Amino acid sequence: MKINKVYIPLFISIILALGFVLGSTFNVSSDKGLFVKNTNTTKLHKLIDFIEREYVDSLNTDSIVDLTVSEILAKLDPHSVYIPKSDLEAVSQSMRGDFVGIGVNFYMFNDTLAIIKPIANGPSKKAGLKAGDRILFADKSQLFNRKLETNTLFSILKGKQNSKVKLTVYRKSEKRKFTVTLTRDVIPIKSVDVAIMVSKTAGYIKINRFAETTYDEFLNGLAQLKKQGANEIIIDLRDNGGGYLESAVAIADEFLKKDELIVKTKNKKGKEDFTRATEKGIFESGKVTLLINEETASASEILAGAIQDNDRGTIVGRRSFGKGLVQREMPLGDGSAVRLTVARYYTPSGRSIQKPYEDKGENYFNEFQKRFETGELYEKDKIKISDSLKFKTKKGRIVYGGGGIIPDVFVPLEGKHGEEMTMLLLQSGLMNYFVFEQLDQNRKAFTNMSISEIKDELAQNKNYFNAFKNRIKDSGLVLNLEQQKEKVIHYMHAEFVQQLFTDQAYYQLLLKEDKMVNKVLSK
C-alpha cells in the first residue's frame, strides 16, 4: 500500500469527531452558583463594554465572547467544551433520541436531495416516498442547485409536530414529478442499532451511543433475544464515544447482582458517590462479552469497567480510549452552553482509566496514529501502562488504570499490517455513497434480486469492483485493492443489503466475517 501516514489521522479524526461531540459523559443540570460576580468576571464585562462602545471598527462582540469562552475552557481539560447556540439543538436532539421531521435518510447527490431510504413508519414512508426519489421543493423552498448546507436542509425539513409540508418530488425510476403533503412527526434516532441472534444461543446488541432512550431500547432488545433462546449476550461498544452515565449504569444493572458496585464518582470537594446494582436484572446469569476498541470511550468504559471488575463477563478487543472525566452541561442563557468537567469516575476496583491530557489538542483525540506506530493495535504486549497502576477485580485478577480499559482477550486491527487505510475506507461513508450511485443507475434490477443474488452479481461482474477502484484513484489515493478484492466485495455487498433491505440483514451479513464476533463464538 502506497499511502502517506499523514492521511491516517484525517480519516480517524472524521470518525472520532461525531462520537466525541455527542459522546462525552455528562449529567444535564443547571448551576445557579456558576455566575457569582467576582473581580475577574467584572473585568471581562468591562472589556466587552469598552469594545462595544469605543473600538474603532465595527464587529460582532458575540463572536469575541464565544472565542473567549472557548479559550478559557481550552485551559482546563479536553472534554470541557463550549457548545454554541447553532450546535446545541442538534446535540440535544441526538442525546434525547428523537426529533420532529419527515423521516428520511438522504444524500446531496449532484446538488439534489436524494432519498437513500425512508425511515420505517415515518411520514415519508407512509406517504409512499421511495429510495432514489429526489425532493426538489419543501413548500416554496428550492432544495436543488443551491449548494445548501446540511444544517440548512435540516432546518427546512424539520418543524413542529403535526405541522404540514408540501414536497415536490421527482421519481427517477418512473421519470415523473409529483407533489405530496406530509405531516411532520417524531422520528426516533436509534442508539441501539440492532439486537439479533448470531448463533443458536448467542445474541448480539450494537450500541452506538448512550442517549436518554438507550436503556429502553437495550432492554427491549435483550428481552427479545432471551425469548429467542439467547443464554449468551455480546454487547458491541466499538466506536461508541459515550453519552449519559445513567444509561450505562442502568444497562450494567441488568447484568450485576444487588449491591455490586457499578461506578464511583469523586468531585472537586472530595465527595464520593457510589452507584450500586439494584435487585432488578433480567440477565444476571449467562455469558456476557463486551467488544471494545480504541474509540470506545466514556460511558462505554464505565459499562466495560463494571463488567470487568466484577468478573461478570469478558472484555474482547483493543484498549479503549481512556476517558474518566464526568461533564455537566450548563446553559449560558443565550441558547449556548458549556460542558464542564465536574468529577472523575472510578471503576469498581478503584481505578481511573483517564489517560494523561497534558496535550489537550489533536494528539489527545487522534491517539490512533501513536498506537499504530507503537504496534499496540496488532500486539497486546505493545500496550504500555504503568505497573504502579495495578488493581484487582472481585476475584483477584490484575487490571490496570491510567489509560483506558485493557481487554481480557486481545483482537488485533482487522486486516494485515499495512492495509489500515483500505479498511478505514471500506468502513467509511465513501462506500455508502458509491453504492447509492450504483443503485441509482439501475435500481429496478437490484430491487428484484435476493441477498445471495446481489452477492453473485457483485462477484461475477467486474464492473462494480473496477468502478470502485477508479473512484479511489480519482480521490487521489493509491491503494492496491486487488490484493483485498474479496474484502472490498464483502463490504460492498453489505452496503447494498443495508440500502435495499434492513439493518438486521446488514448486520447478519457483516458479522459473519467480523474477527471479534468470531473470536467470541469460537470459544
**Residues annotated as catalytic (active site), given as ranges:** 298, 309, 323
In whole angstroms, give the CA distance from residue 159 to residue 48.
36
Question: Distances in Å between the alpha carbon of 284 and those of 205, 231, 251?
Answer: 16, 11, 11
Displacement of CA 131 from its chain's centroid (Å): 24
Alpha-carbon span 106 to 119, nearest angstrom: 10
DSSP character at residue 244: B
CA-CA-CA-CA torsion sign (305, 306, 310, 314): negative
36 backbone dihedrals φ, ψ, rounded to 5°: -65, 135
Helices 485-500 and 451-460 pack at an angle, to 10 degrees, of 140
Q: Rounded to whole angstroms, how far apart are CA atoms 136 and 112?
A: 7
Q: How far is CA 174 from CA 111, 168, 303, in A?
A: 20, 15, 50
Look at residues 306, 193, 288, 314 and name the one whose alpha carbon lies nearest to residue 234: 288
Is residue 246 within a helix (H) or strand (E), and if so which, with residue range? helix 245-253
Element (H, E) at 18: helix 7-23
Give strand pairing partners of 185: 101
Q: What are phi and psi of 106, to 5 degrees?
A: -145, 160
Residue listed under C-alpha cell 469516575: 345
**What is d(CA 498, CA 131) in angstroms, rounded to the nearest whole number?**
12
Report CA 404 to chain centroid distance, whole Å.
18
Pair 312, 288: CB distance under 8 Å: yes
